[in-house]
Structure 1
Amino acid sequence: QDMLTVRVNNRQLINRLMSQFLQLDIVGSTMMMKLLDRKNKISADEFKRQAIEIFGSQAAEGLPKLAKMIGMKSVDDLPSELADDESVRQLREVMQLLRQKGIENAVFDVTLMRGLDYYTGMVFELFDNSPENNRALFGGGRYDGLVGLFGVEPIATVGVGMGATTMQQFLEVHDLLPKLPSRTDVYIIPVSKESLTGADNLARKLRDEGVRAELDITGRKIDKQIKAALKKRIPFAVFVGEDEIASGAYTVRNLVESDEQKVGAERIVTIVKDRRYDGDDDAAFEL
């Protein structure tokens, strides 16, 4: 849990704070919510400038209230006149339920807006605590009216959306990506564009015999193809040229032991399976 922070708020509470605490009308409230949603993406000076524009002639009274609101770090810091509001009750209940479930990294965040307008209740986001990726990984919330806009019976709904890129960065930053070994047996290297068809035929033949074969179709230089096989930790490279296609004998290089031999397709199958198994049909070979 120390890797993540669950930030929680309630859109009904946000509406109350905008109208009752900041004294903004509907247009001003919408603009302020969008500004708060961007708060961590713009400078403090730019945030203040835009807030002054939203408050207009009431900026002298509004800015101190906005600063006070942003400083509310717990539900207990909310204005006393909102203590009995249904949205506050829901927040307290959710936070209590999370603690009962052993989730200790959930916090109330009064600035959490979830920019989309269709949210009607609880909203949440999960943030990566790492300074290298301090951003929302995914989030969502309650929306009661959205489904009804599509001509069906309105139902209360909770949804969540995930950022694929941010999740990948989270896994990378915290070293959580599994280091899976390659299960490919042979890397087939066409030595020329003309030998690609023959190399493809060999790949299909080997696959039919249960050999896991990868065919390089990039047309890049041979040394780069070999480097690709080494990077993927594939144990064998098979070189396919016009001579090999004509004779049916292919150069097979053991990339682990750095030796070569020239053999037919049937022998490649045997070499691979001898390497892959050690008396147990389910034991995958190791480099």
Structure 2
Amino acid sequence: LNGISISFGDDADRSEVIERFLWKVGRGEQRRQILHALDFMRALHAVSGSPPQVFDELSELLDRYELDAEPLVELKQLVAIVEQCGVPHQQIVLNLSLGRGVSYYTGLVFEIHTQDGDGFDAQLCGGGRYDRLMRAVGSSRDVKACGFAFGVERLLAQLSRSDLPQSIATQALVIPISQSDVPYALHVARAARSQGLRTELDVTGHGVGAGLKLAAKKQMLLAIIVGDSEQRTGGVTIKNLKTGQESFSLLDSLVEGLPLKVEQHRLTARVNPTIHASAATYGQQECKEVPDDQQR
């Protein structure tokens, strides 16, 4: 039992939890419940494959054990966001037995892999959700967080020198009005980049007002605002941060009439990443309602 990676909470003593577990195993009804839970965990850890395959297997498994399907809904939303970032589901592997080997993770963990020149698997990046790490290293409170690290040497080994981008100023910031607008905002950011517009995405979730201040602080020229109305019409609202003027534009003609120079080509890297993710547990996302005075 000491070899099982299980989170027992902030204050629970591991040896005490294991002792109570062993005591309960010896009791009839509780023994059956524990064995039932262990059967579920065993079946859950065997689930691995492409998103469509895993979604079907998880749906059947949750139905069989009469469990809430909300984690599956969250997993589908996450995969949709990853796909909007340009990674097709054929390159995503969901492995519910994946672990990162450290105990501070409290939710989903992920890795990014590619193949080296000899065809061998090479891990480029790894990370995940950890909501209690800051307290563990001395903070007075928990801080909801997600982080990752790249292996710089491995990453550089996969890139030819001509693929390395130059440091150039960002021209536009895409600002989603609410959390539900993030997938569309990712799609907009990709479309803007494909048209040569150097673009970042606001991931702070603090609303339009804070996003505009962030864009101004970074001396960007444009803010691209997306919400429900923009999604319905297939466009965006563009705010010129120099003049304060706002205009509407369809997604396929973002750069037409803009007072700036756009790049005529895009840099492409010769890395073909595969994302491996484990979604057996979830950290709780902190969602905030955007006040009316921040809605444009």
The two structures share one fold, judged by TM-score above 0.5: no
Relative contact order higher in (CA < 8 Å, ≥ 6 apart): 2
TM-score computed with the length of structure 1 as normaliser: 0.35
TM-score computed with the length of structure 2 as normaliser: 0.34
Computing the radius of gyration over CA atoms, which structure comes out larger, 1 or 2? Answer: 1
Structure with greater proportional helix content: 1
